[in-house]
Structure 1
Amino acid sequence: MAQKETNKRKKSFGFTAVALIFAAISLAIVVMINLMVSRLDITWDLTPTGIYKLTDTTTDYLDSVDKKVNFYFLQDMDELSTVRELMPLYNAMKEYSSYDCINFEAFEPDSEPEKTKELKKLGFELSSGDIVVECEGRSKRIPRYTMFNTINTPSSDGKQSRSSFYFTGENIITGAIDAVVTGRETKIYFLTGHGEKSVDTDYTKLKTNLAAHNYIAENLDLISKDSVPEDAAIVILAAPKNDISDNELKTLNDYLDRGGNICFWMSPNDAELDYVNIEKLLKEYNIGMDYDVVEETDPSLYVPNDHTIFMCSLVVADETTDIDITSELRDIVDKGGAIPTMINSRSFVSIYNQGTNSDHVFNGSLLQTTDKIGDGSSTAIGRPYGGAKPRETLANSVLDLAMYSTDKARADSKVMVIGTADFMDDDNIDQAYSTVLVNLQLSVFSWMYDSELALDFGIGNKEQTVDEMVIENRSKAIGTNVIFIAVPVVVGLIGGAVYLRRRYSE
């Protein structure tokens, strides 16, 4: 009997020893595999949208590039890696930097002021998180705020909304790289046929400056065309004396439906006519246009003997919007670098289109008359000027001098209005009082076009998702608990009971 017990214990010890050896070997293999994978820096992206890796479209394109692209990322990579929401951008930067055609450099602009200064010589206002790509003297800036997009979708009952967070950076970055590699120039078209200012006679200096930034300015006559050219990045309507036609309205709306961008430089016009079709277009973007000329009544705010040249205020976006066009300019103004000054302007107003597009049209102000005491009042007035019907003087409240709007339901099309076309013409563009307005318009160009693809690679936005389970009622919750909690516990108890029975059985 004693011998039998001894043999049993030896046999049990032998099985245990073998099990421990296999466990140790398995653990060693797992550790070695993990060490090998970590040294190889291999990652797997199991997300539904592939948000942590570049698409085949981008990787195939980068493999084909035979020129060296200088890629400057104005942010510390180590700091970026610690923010979970920014991991898609962090991983994208790592992948872009791994290609032979990319000369990648990441740094914080404040900690490397000399490098930042050199990049600013390319003509960009830069801030942390921006990207600059450069190839053979051609350069493009990608603002930080274009990398991600948040869309709130209201529920059917209107009580809740779902926030979807998208990484849009790959589409934009790959397009920008292609733009500087190929040297393909961006077209800005100036509409003609309505008594506008001409790009060839009134904006020759602007045309030259745009060419230095890979923008080509050309005329566009829509009266003889049925569509806006496919290569149009931006269309500008500069001080039209007459309204656009019904056919032009349709053509411009078709362009906006494709994600187009239009700037309306609407100088005051003393003619007794209404811009009926232009107003129809602007109404879809929740912008109304006044028929007035803005005059400042406070002598400390206007140029002596000219009430129509006056100091105004930049409007900086608050935390409720992802659209930031003016904050960098505001930093310059606050440091005493320039004073926002308006020249011969009409005013605009934000309208709400009967609530039909409030969930997909987002607009805001860029410039306003000065509110000296911060109570929403202003000493500027909007004196009636032109138009087909009598209008009242606008007084006491702050007036909008420039506005922006975008429609998410129309392929992110964008519209900008400003109450003057004089600030960019040859007589004013180099004047100190036009500095802020000129830079504001360049920021709008960047928002409109650089936030879109320089070339459409067809890379969709990648939604940042998390796995979730929706349990509709109490009975389903109990069933879920049984499946995921009770069943594993029961199986574990049965396994333990079987083990103990065999362990202590004769």
Structure 2
Amino acid sequence: MTRKLKKGGYTAILSVIVIAAVVIFNMIIGRLPEKVRQWDMSSTQIYTLGQTTKDLLKGLDKDITIYVVGDPAVVDKRITSFVKRYEDLSSHIKVETVDSVLHPDQLNQLKAQDDALFVKCEATNKTESIPFTSIIKMDESSYYYTGQSQESQFDGEGQLTSAISHVTSDVEKKVYVTEGHGEAVLGATVSDMLKKSNLTVTSLNLLTKGSIPKDCELLLLNAPVSDLADDEKKMISEFLDKGGNVLLLAGYSEKERPNLNQLMNAYGLNLENGLAADTKNFYQNNPYYIFPTIPSGSEVTNGLDTKSASLVLQSAAMTQLKALPEGVEVTPFMKTSEKGMLVTADKQTPGTYILGAVAEKTLDSGTARFTVLSTPSLIDEGLNTSFTNLNNLNLFMNAVTANFDDVANVSIPAKSLAVTYNTVTRGGLWGILFIFVIPVITLAVGLVIFMKRRRL
């Protein structure tokens, strides 16, 4: 064997070893969890699963199959990568791909929709279909400005976690929303979140209906401008006396609402005739734009992200009665700071004011629950769309689901695919530092260096 041939043999053997090592390495990488193989570098962490989803998957005791239905060459890679993270977190979840082009018979057999995630639970025989268009949402209005539709939101976690909860649970609750008093309409985001938690929402006019339906498990009053009629007040009072649940977003109104306030008084709360302000925790130099204090120890505030803030605008102010009615216990979950203020037409009264509270009354047959939020801006569509990093919607959904023992808040808001802006509670000294002091120092140092070099 010549030296040249021997050298060539070593090279060939080394090449085989390197190729084998690469193949084995790729096989090992391919078996790693999706979160290890692909890091979430997106600005709004669209691939990262929150604690709500992790808790739901941890408690799963039924097997679920998630089918990715569509042409694999066309399905958005963000969706396929995202779904695999659910499989990584639970042994009860299996992900399969259904090629709707090559295997249309399999699509018909499943009775699944094309270009969608199809979630199926064999134990309950329940299914849920999630169109890809419900996951990656488009801003159609942008077409009129740019000539093309732009991606606006990624709702993968919200849709898929809700679907898993739905197919594994038989629980479905009825929520009735009052109308006839100038109430605000629930926004699309809030309506979607209620649906995600398996809550069916129906409108109700108490005067024309004449009673609260027997299947009502939560009565929701969203910012009534005018007062309740005497008959309506009686209906709601009797509903509560039977152990009912009522959630009121009171809001500020220039009209007097004595019947509404009497309902609140019966549960230890009083709606003051004025606006709440806060001279300590406010947004953009407007004391009526309040970053509320969120006390711990309430089931409404459990699981909230402590790094995020809530923001309420032009809120009414509440106080607690000094002497609570018999059997009533009040638990505030949202307040102004100690620098709060009640502002009326003729005076300003400093103090700490309640912005959200739960009042429970012990009855012979159970417990009545009256939850009051002093402002509907907590769920304002425009506010929560502009500031996607607020705790507002989670706080509201906690207040809703806390009325039920067998319903969890699995309503996860969609994540923005646009640029997210940070919310700064007080600009003050930081604004002066970054806008004035640092630039001036930088210019001064640069000028000194320039002059020194010029002399040289």
What TM-score do the two structures reach when normalised by structure 1?
A: 0.47
Task: Provide, for residues 284-337 of structure 1, a one-character-per-residue CA deviation record: whole Å limited to 9, x for no partner.
Answer: 111111111122324xx32225332122210112xxxxx5321321xx21xx2x
Instruction: Indicate the residue corresponding to 1:185 in structure 2.
Output: 172
- Say whether residues 1:244 and 2:244 are aligned partners: no
Determine helix, strand or coil for the equivalent of 2:267: coil
Instruction: Indicate the residue corresponding to 1:60 in structure 2.
Output: none
Letter in 2 for 1:290: E
How far apart are the structure 1 equivalents of 2:314 and 2:321?
23
Letter in 2 for 1:221: N
Query: Given the alignment, which residue of 167, 175, 184 partners 1:197?
Result: 184
Instruction: Indicate the residue corresponding to 1:447 in structure 2.
Output: 402
Task: Provide, for residues 444-467 of structure 1, a one-character-per-residue CA deviation record: whole Å limited to 9, x for no partner.
Answer: 1121123589xxxxxxxxxxxxxx
Query: Given the alignment, which residue of 247, 251, 258 partners 1:263?
Result: 247
Query: Given the alignment, which residue of 368, 373, 388 partners 1:413?
Result: 368
Query: Given the alignment, which residue of 282, 288, 294 partners 1:302?
Result: 282
Contact 2:331–2:357 at 8 Å: present in 1 too? yes
- Say whether residues 1:286 and 2:256 are aligned partners: no
Contact 1:227–1:255 at 8 Å: present in 2 too? no
CA change 1:72–1:366 in 2 (3 A) is: closer
Instruction: Indicate the residue corresponding to 1:402 in structure 2.
Output: 356
How far apart are the structure 1 equivalents of 2:188 and 2:328?
34
Determine helix, strand or coil for the equivalent of 1:429: helix
Instruction: Indicate the residue corresponding to 1:277 in structure 2.
Output: 259
Task: Provide, for residues 379-406 of structure 1, a one-character-per-residue CA deviation record: whole Å limited to 9, x for no partner.
Answer: 2311016xxxx7x5220x2221111111
Q: CA deviation at 1:367?
A: 0.7
Determine helix, strand or coil for the equivalent of 1:347: strand
How far apart are the structure 1 equivalents of 2:325 and 2:182?
34
How far apart are the structure 1 equivalents of 2:92 and 2:276?
40
- Say whether residues 1:424 and 2:379 are aligned partners: yes
Higher relative contact order (CA 8 A, sep 6+): 1
Instruction: Indicate the residue corresponding to 2:212 in structure 1.
Output: 228
How far apart are the structure 2 equivalents of 1:443 and 1:182?
19
Contact 1:188–1:233 at 8 Å: present in 2 too? yes
Tell me the C-alpha RMSD between the 2 structures: 3.7
Query: Given the alignment, which residue of 362, 378, 382 partners 2:342?
Result: 382
Q: CA deviation at 1:430?
A: 2.9
How far apart are the structure 2 equivalents of 1:279 and 1:216?
28
Contact 2:251–2:375 at 8 Å: present in 1 too? yes
Q: CA deviation at 1:356?
A: 4.6
- Quick check: which has more Rg, 1 or 2? 1
Instruction: Indicate the residue corresponding to 1:315 in structure 2.
Output: 295
Q: CA deviation at 1:103?
A: 4.0
How far apart are the structure 1 equivalents of 2:90 and 2:239?
37
Contact 1:368–1:401 at 8 Å: present in 2 too? yes
How far apart are the structure 2 equivalents of 1:259 and 1:293?
32
Letter in 1 for 2:197: H
How far apart are the structure 2 equivalents of 1:117 and 1:435?
33
Letter in 2 for 1:136: K
CA change 1:291–1:185 in 2 (3 A) is: same
How do 1:471-486 and structure 2 match up within 5 A? Answer: none
Contact 2:401–2:407 at 8 Å: present in 1 too? no
How far apart are the structure 2 equivalents of 1:242 and 1:285?
21
How far apart are the structure 2 equivalents of 1:117 and 1:285?
47
Q: CA deviation at 1:443?
A: 0.9
Contact 1:195–1:240 at 8 Å: present in 2 too? yes
Contact 1:296–1:308 at 8 Å: present in 2 too? yes
Query: Given the alignment, which residue of 278, 281, 302 partners 1:327?
Result: 302
Contact 2:377–2:383 at 8 Å: present in 1 too? yes
CA change 1:182–1:437 in 2 (3 A) is: closer
Instruction: Indicate the residue corresponding to 2:119 in structure 1.
Output: none
Q: CA deviation at 1:251?
A: 0.6
How far apart are the structure 1 equivalents of 2:252 and 2:396?
19
How far apart are the structure 1 equivalents of 2:125 and 2:310?
34
Instruction: Indicate the residue corresponding to 2:126 in structure 1.
Output: 136
Determine helix, strand or coil for the equivalent of 1:295: strand
CA change 1:307–1:230 in 2 (3 A) is: same
- Say whether residues 1:348 and 2:328 are aligned partners: no
Letter in 1 for 2:335: Q
Instruction: Indicate the residue corresponding to 1:169 in structure 2.
Output: none
Aligned residues: 268
Instruction: Indicate the residue corresponding to 2:142 in structure 1.
Output: none
Contact 1:257–1:411 at 8 Å: present in 2 too? no
CA change 1:250–1:449 in 2 (3 A) is: same
Contact 1:423–1:434 at 8 Å: present in 2 too? no
CA change 1:284–1:182 in 2 (3 A) is: same
How far apart are the structure 1 equivalents of 2:399 and 2:172?
18
How do 1:47-196 and structure 2 match up within 5 A? Answer: 103=62, 115=89, 136=126, 185-196=172-183
Letter in 2 for 1:419: S
CA change 1:134–1:233 in 2 (3 A) is: farther
How far apart are the structure 1 equivalents of 2:369 and 2:91?
31
CA change 1:207–1:349 in 2 (3 A) is: same
Determine helix, strand or coil for the equivalent of 1:448: coil
CA change 1:448–1:221 in 2 (3 A) is: same
Contact 1:190–1:198 at 8 Å: present in 2 too? no
CA change 1:342–1:115 in 2 (3 A) is: same
Determine helix, strand or coil for the equivalent of 1:328: coil
CA change 1:418–1:117 in 2 (3 A) is: farther
CA change 1:231–1:297 in 2 (3 A) is: same
What TM-score do the two structures reach when normalised by structure 2?
A: 0.52
How far apart are the structure 2 equivalents of 1:421 and 1:305?
21
Determine helix, strand or coil for the equivalent of 1:223: helix
Instruction: Indicate the residue corresponding to 1:170 in structure 2.
Output: none
